[in-house]
């Protein structure tokens, strides 16, 4: 009984406390609070009246849901570039890759013209368990034709996905087999990996590429680290190029693997949000080996947090180009219909105090989106001499007092210029029209068995395989059909080396997986070459 009385007293005290605090405010302060509250209520009424008036009186019928969504977007557009609104469908598509899984049949696929071809079934996934193999064509799902009907890729994905435990009744054409095959696939949770690749670059040097920071990134990273250590890894190249970010906590957990307990990783602070420090809170699994981080102009947000922490704590070297400069913290506000507002509430700061966010003007997203183009035009991406920082942007690293720079993004310790000569206009147009990927799929689909027989392991493929002239000719011919032609023979010759490298990497991916793709691609990466040079 006594306990119940205490609880009742506590609840009464908590309820009365705000009134007690308010009663001691000066009369002027009370009036200000009252005026602010009344003003806020007045603005909300104004917004509500406007919405009701349009709905009830406008000359034509309006979509009320779209009206409200446009109003929300209109408010957010006047703020910073990263405060956004997403519909329920957009919210699901945005969060699914970061949440670590989705529910479906578990195949990697691509479309050749209007036919779905399985690139690979997910290992131990539902499709592999029932016998679906690479090269299969899925032509029907639950008695609905998806081949030859010009159905969008998004619509096909919607039909293949579904709640865990439901059945997808598939009809499949398999090369070499006359009759349609039938498979009943029980949908299940399919993992979404954020660690793209990991392998040994050379004896003693491991390589890990992280595509984004999601719910499973830290666990994936630890698993890949353990594998590489078992293969003799002493030093690590951490590739964060084109990593657009993700969850702050995932980035903080991963950075902690390289730092000493108590080392500051990042801190956040905003107008209504007090400073919060994120520190390494455990004995990291890789505190001794040498570390090089690769970044570029697309490395953003959570990836910049990891990069900034490693640089400021003098834990490793950063190689590449200045990162994107996304240092605003968004709080997700879930709405009743599944839509979401992601509202900026604070800034990220590196351990030395640098604000990661690049400058912007409120409401001017157009100029903000042109930043990378401006960097290219100014020469920043191609020439280190074009990069200049004011003395006011100088900061010192925490252990060695090296000079680093603020002003938005993370400036690398070693600059790697963007090579604009290797990726020609001709190559860009072939890629944009999907000519390269389509011809790659056709080639692998036709030659998969022969390739596997000739190259039973990846090491032999990497050392000996060369792109046949017939495949190059097929790409050129298909390009001509779509009015894509090189300007002259010089452009053609300039295009071929990078095109062949890309094709070899894609074939390796389709025959094996992403480790093999990056193993081929990184053979010609200036950033990787520089990392290996530094580690020597």
- Catalytic residue numbers read 301, 312, 326
What are the residues facing 111 on neighbouring strands?
A: 116
Dist CA 232 CA 289 (whole Å): 12
Start-to-end CA distance of the chain, whole Å, equals 74
The residue behind tokens 């696929």 is: 109
* C-alpha closest to that of 320 among 233, 405, 413, 242: 413
Dist CA 452 CA 507 (whole Å): 11
Please count the other Cβ atoms lying within 10 Å of the Cβ belonging to residue 316.
23
Dist CA 267 CA 507 (whole Å): 43
Dist CA 36 CA 30 (whole Å): 10
Which residues lie below 8 Å from residue 305, measured CB to CB, with a gap of 6+? 248, 251, 252, 255, 265, 266, 348, 350, 356
Cα four-point dihedral sign 99, 105, 106, 109 = negative
Dist CA 187 CA 252 (whole Å): 34
Dist CA 154 CA 93 (whole Å): 11
Q: At 362, phi and psi to the nearest 5?
A: -55, 135
* C-alpha closest to that of 107 among 130, 90, 84: 130
**CB 117 within 8 Å of CB 110:** yes
Dist CA 318 CA 7 (whole Å): 56
Strand runs labelled E in 411-496: 414-415
Coil/strand/helix, residue 254: helix
């Amino acid at each position: 009984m006594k306990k119940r009385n205490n609880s009742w007293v506590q609840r009464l005290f908590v309820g009365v406390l705000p009134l007690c605090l308010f009663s001691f405010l000066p009369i002027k302060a009370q009036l200000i609070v009252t005026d602010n509250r009344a003003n806020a209520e007045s603005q909300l009424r104004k917004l509500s009246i406007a919405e009701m008036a349009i709905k009830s009186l406008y000359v034509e019928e309006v979509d009320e849901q779209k009206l409200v969504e446009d109003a929300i977007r209109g408010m957010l557009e006047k703020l910073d570039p990263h405060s956004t609104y997403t519909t329920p469908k957009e919210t699901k598509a945005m969060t699914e890759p970061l949440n670590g899984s989705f529910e479906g049949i578990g195949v990697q696929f691509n479309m050749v013209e209007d036919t779905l071809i399985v690139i690979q079934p997910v290992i131990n996934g539902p499709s592999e368990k029932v016998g679906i193999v690479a090269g299969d064509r899925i032509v029907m799902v639950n008695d609905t034709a998806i081949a030859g009907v010009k159905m969008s890729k998004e619509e096909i994905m919607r039909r293949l996905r579904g709640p865990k435990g439901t059945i997808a009744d598939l009809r499949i054409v398999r090369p070499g087999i006359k009759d349609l095959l039938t498979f009943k696939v029980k949908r299940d949770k399919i993992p979404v990996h954020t660690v793209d690749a990991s392998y040994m670059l050379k004896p003693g040097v491991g390589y890990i590429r992280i595509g984004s920071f999601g719910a499973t990134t830290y666990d994936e990273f630890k698993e890949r680290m353990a594998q590489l250590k078992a293969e003799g890894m002493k030093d690590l190249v951490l590739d964060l190029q084109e990593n657009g970010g993700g969850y702050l906590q995932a980035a903080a957990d991963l950075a902690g693997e390289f730092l000493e307990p108590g080392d500051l990783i990042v801190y956040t602070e905003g107008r209504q949000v007090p400073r919060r420090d994120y520190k390494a809170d455990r004995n990291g699994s890789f505190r001794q080996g040498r570390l090089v981080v690769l970044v570029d102009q697309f490395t953003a947000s959570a990836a910049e947090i990891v990069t900034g922490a490693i640089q400021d704590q003098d834990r490793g070297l950063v190689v590449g180009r200045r990162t994107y400069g996304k240092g605003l913290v968004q709080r997700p506000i879930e709405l009743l219909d599944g839509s979401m507002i992601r509202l900026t509430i604070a800034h990220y700061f590196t351990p030395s105090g640098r604000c990661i966010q690049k400058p912007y003007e409120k409401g001017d997203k157009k100029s903000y989106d042109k930043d990378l183009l401006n960097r290219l035009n100014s020469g920043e991406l191609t020439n280190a001499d074009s990069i200049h920082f004011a003395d006011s942007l100088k900061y010192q690293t925490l252990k060695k007092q090296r000079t680093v720079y603020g002003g938005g993004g993370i400036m690398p310790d070693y600059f790697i210029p963007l090579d604009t000569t290797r990726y020609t206009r001709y190559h860009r147009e072939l890629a944009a029209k999907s000519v390269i990927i389509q011809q790659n799929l056709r080639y692998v689909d036709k030659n998969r068995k022969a390739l596997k027989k000739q190259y039973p392991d990846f090491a032999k493929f990497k050392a000996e395989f060369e792109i046949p002239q017939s495949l190059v000719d097929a790409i050129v011919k298909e390009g001509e059909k779509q009015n894509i032609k090189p300007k002259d023979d010089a452009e053609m010759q300039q295009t071929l080396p990078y095109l062949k490298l890309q094709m070899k990497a894609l074939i390796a991916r389709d025959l094996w997986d992403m480790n093999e793709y990056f193993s081929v691609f990184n053979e010609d990466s200036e950033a990787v070459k520089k990392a290996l040079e530094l580690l020597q």
